[in-house]
């Protein structure tokens, strides 16, 4: 269908005085004795196009005036009666698709909770078009960030036999139903599609390390799956994961890259999505733009895990989860550190080895590993990363201490046997990042079809 994007009409002043055909969905309709006004959206811009219909000259089918109906309008582009923009004086309004009165997205604001029950339609609201436009711009900016710095974009397998994080949170991949004839788990999996136990990957990191120890700098950007029983506002069973992996890099390098990437992507979003950011500022999080400008302009904090524990112990707050050296930081602890103490993003570094993964570089103190989590106000952890253990003996010792099956990690261990190098990387939860830049408080509201415990709509 030959037509012009609404974004193009609103942006390009040279179109004033020309004829144009636009297609879109009716968002609002206002009527007076002589003139009717339709506001059209076609997805190409946050602002809608006002179509002015002179009722004495143009026949207007009542179906074309219903909220949600799709129409095609031919008309003249003119300077808007009010403000700086353009509008369209209709010469012909043609119905493309009717929209009956029980259309659930009406003009009045509906709750996010209700909208979650209609994921196939909620994108037609201002809120969700804004979220998904920001999400798209952020994704492109992440690819550009790495491409500009000569990282290779690698696609790691989604079906895997090795559990990267070792937390037992993998979804199983199988083609066979349970059958009582099997006496053991091993015998059962032997008959399965891959002749062994397989699952959906929780992280592309292990394969990312394979690529980084040949190509130098790589990143992945794909889905990860976690069968965590965490029904919270920041956990999904399927989320998108950005994972750079860098050879010849130590923990401070990893943190520097993470900080630079976050700042660069936020800058791009603020530049390219100014209308959406104004909307979020007004309707979602007051102070959002100042918060993000502050993130871009100031240095992220850095806090030793051991100091974090001391700080939490002295806090004038009663936490639900007790604090002691060796404990994992809970969301309430992370939020206290970022929201009450630093008021900006903070890297917590050097965690106890017992609460972190087998692959992390063991520090000289024998107690901690060179790991970092980036915590941000409002959300908590958005990045987990580390320098990797490059010493084969230390890696094997850590794996044995965890009772891991060394045979199934032979390829990973080989990376240390054949020309090992210091290297490291991190994983950014993309949805959590989108929450942070939009101010949205529930991860289900920045995902097209969120998958979480008891929910696969
Ligand atoms: O801290 P995590 O578990 O780290 C890893 O997976 C490493 N292998 C990454 C690496 O070093 N390459 O996860 C990284 C990030 C978290 O900080 C969080 O933002 C996100 O992934 N994440 C989730 N996001 C949504 N729902 C979940 N269930 C998530 N689990 C982790």
User: Has residue 107 got a pLDDT over 70?
Assistant: no
Domains and CATH numbers, the chain: 6-103 (2.40.50.140), 122-445 (3.30.930.10)
The pLDDT, as a whole number, for residue 262 is 98
Between the CA of 169 and the centroid of ligand 1 the distance, in Å, is: 12
Taking CB atoms and a 6 Å cutoff, what residues make up the pocket around ligand 1?
164-165, 203, 205, 226, 228, 235-236, 239, 241, 243, 381-386, 425-427, 429, 431-432
**pLDDT digit string (tens) for 43-98?**
999 999 999 999 999 999 999 999 999 999 999 999 998 888 899 999 999 999 99
Range with the poorest average pLDDT among 179-193, 247-261, 434-448: 179-193
pLDDT above 90 as % of the chain: 90
- 3-state SS, 134-158, equals HHHHHHHHHHHHHHHCCCEECCCCC
Which of the 8 DSSP states describes residue 378? T
Top mutation candidate among 369, 427, 432, 436 for ligand 1, by most atoms within 8 Å of CB: 427
Give me the residues paired with residue 301 across strands.
346
Ligand 1 pocket test, candidate residues 204, 225, 239, most atoms within 8 A of CB: 239
CA distance 50 to 36: 10
Task: State how far the alpha carbon of 296 is from the alpha carbons of 5, 89, 268, 299, 454, in Å.
Answer: 33, 43, 11, 8, 38
Q: H or E stretch including 217?
A: strand 217-225
Under a CB-based contact definition with an 8 Å cutoff, are residues 212 and 218 in contact? yes
Residue count of the chain, please give it.
457
Mapped onto helix, strand or coil, the DSSP state of residue 250 is coil
C-alpha span between 450 and 116 (Å, rounded): 9
Gap between the terminal Cα atoms of the chain = 33
263-308: per-residue pLDDT in tens? Answer: 999 999 999 999 999 999 999 999 999 999 999 999 999 999 999 9
pTM: 0.96
What CA–CA distance (Å, rounded) separates 317 from 306? Answer: 19
Q: What is the pLDDT of residues 116-163, one digit of tens each?
A: 999 999 999 999 999 999 999 999 999 999 999 999 999 999 999 988
């Amino acid at each position: 269908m030959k037509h012009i994007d609404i974004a193009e009409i609103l942006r390009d002043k040279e179109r004033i005085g020309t004829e144009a055909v636009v297609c879109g969905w009716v968002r609002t309709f206002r009527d007076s004795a002589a003139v009717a006004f339709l506001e059209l959206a076609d997805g190409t811009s946050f602002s809608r196009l006002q179509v002015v219909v002179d009722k004495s000259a143009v026949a207007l089918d009542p179906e074309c005036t219903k909220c949600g109906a799709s129409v095609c309008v031919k008309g003249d582009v003119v300077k808007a009666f009010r403000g700086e923009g353009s509008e369209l004086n209709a010469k012909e309004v043609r119905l493309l698709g009717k929209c009956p009165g029980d259309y659930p997205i009406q003009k009045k604001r509906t709750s996010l909770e209700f909208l979650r029950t209609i994921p196939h339609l909620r994108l037609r609201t201002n809120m969700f078009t804004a979220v998904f436009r920001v999400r798209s711009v952020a994704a492109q900016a992440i690819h550009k960030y790495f491409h500009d710095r000569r990282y290779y974009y690698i696609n790691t397998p989604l079906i895997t036999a090795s559990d990267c994080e070792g937390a037992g949170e993998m979804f199983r991949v199988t083609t066979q139903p349970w059958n009582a004839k099997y006496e053991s788990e091993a015998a059962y999996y032997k008959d399965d599609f891959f002749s062994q136990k397989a699952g959906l990957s929780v992280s592309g990191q292990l394969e990312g390390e394979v690529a980084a120890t040949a190509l130098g700098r790589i990143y992945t950007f794909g889905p990860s799956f976690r069968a965590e029983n965490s029904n919270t506002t920041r956990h999904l069973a399927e989320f998108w994961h950005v994972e750079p992996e860098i050879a010849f890099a130590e923990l401070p390098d990893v943190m520097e890259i993470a900080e630079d990437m976050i700042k660069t992507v936020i800058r791009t979003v603020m530049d390219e999505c100014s209308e959406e950011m104004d909307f979020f500022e007004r309707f979602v999080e007051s102070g959002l733009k100042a918060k993000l400008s502050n993130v871009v302009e100031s240095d992220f904090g850095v806090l030793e895990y051991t100091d974090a524990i001391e700080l939490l112990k002295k806090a004038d707050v009663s936490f639900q989860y007790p604090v002691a050296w060796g404990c994992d930081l809970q969301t309430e602890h992370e939020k206290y550190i970022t929201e009450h103490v630093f008021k900006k993003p903070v890297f917590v570094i050097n965690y106890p080895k017992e609460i972190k993964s087998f692959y992390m570089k063991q520090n000289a103190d024998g107690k901690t590993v060179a790991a970092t989590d980036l915590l941000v106000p409002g959300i908590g952890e958005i990045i987990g990363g580390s320098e990797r253990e490059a010493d084969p003996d230390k890696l094997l010792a850590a794996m044995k201490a965890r009772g891991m099956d060394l045979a199934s990690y032979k390829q990973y261990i080989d990376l240390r046997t054949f020309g090992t190098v210091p290297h490291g990387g991190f994983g950014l939860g993309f949805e959590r990042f989108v929450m942070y830049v939009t101010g949205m408080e529930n991860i289900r509201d920045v995902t097209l079809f969120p998958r979480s415990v008891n929910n696969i709509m």
